[in-house]
Amino acid sequence: MSKDATLPNRLAQILQRGTPAILATYGSDGWPNAVMTWAISGDPRHVRFGVDLGSATLANIQREGKASLQIIGQDNVLFLIKGTAHVIKEHIDALPAPHLMCIMEMTPHSVKDQSWVGVEVAPLAYRWVGHEAEKMAEAERTALVEMRDWESR
């Protein structure tokens, strides 16, 4: 069994605010599966992220109990986090249908700085578009706070 890892300070600072991330899992067919999500952390020993309800990604994590998060952030932050993950809340209240997600929590077992010497990466980014863009941007901000601060009762 691997020893749990602590998030390095540069990574922890980005995750404290919340950031887009790439979530990787393995399907039952043995092929990798990658999706975009949000990642956030309130402490350096756990990372929380959202997963769509009813998705293959959720099934993969529930079956295997593990996942990887690729974080690409400002100031040349490029990290791969591998760890065990499980659902801690069945539904993110801040998100309107059809954006139904659960909150997962990962205990990192490996955190690898993947930055390259002499190269600066651009942060992973996206923007909401369409007539509900402002509503969804606000829902995202609220969801990130819910993901970071939610405690099981």
3-state SS, 25-87, equals EECCCCCEEEEEEEEEEEECCEEEEEEECCCHHHHHHHHHCEEEEEEEECCCEEEEEEEEEEE
**pLDDT tens-digit readout, 13-65:** 999 999 999 999 999 999 999 999 999 999 999 999 999 999 999 999 999 99
Is there a contact between 104 and 50 (Cβ–Cβ < 8 Å)? Answer: yes
> Structurally, how many domains does the chain consist of?
1
pLDDT at residue 1 greater than cutoff 60: no
Q: Residue 152: which pLDDT band, with cuts at 50, 70 and 90? A: low
Q: What angle do CA 1, 46, 69 make, to 5 degrees?
A: 80
Any residues with CB less than 8 A from the CB of 60 and at least 6 apart, and which?
25, 26, 27, 28, 33, 67
Within a domain: residue 4? Answer: no
Within a domain: residue 101? Answer: yes
Within a domain: residue 86? Answer: yes
CA distances from 131 to 63, 135, 137 (A): 37, 9, 12
pLDDT at residue 153 greater than cutoff 50: no
Domain at 14, CATH number: 2.30.110.10
Domain with 34, as residue range(s), is: 9-149
**pLDDT tens-digit readout, 96-139:** 888 899 999 999 999 999 998 888 999 999 999 999 999 999 99
Within a domain: residue 2? Answer: no
Within a domain: residue 33? Answer: yes
* pLDDT, position 18: 95
Q: pTM to 2 decimals? A: 0.93
Strand partners of residue 23: 35, 69
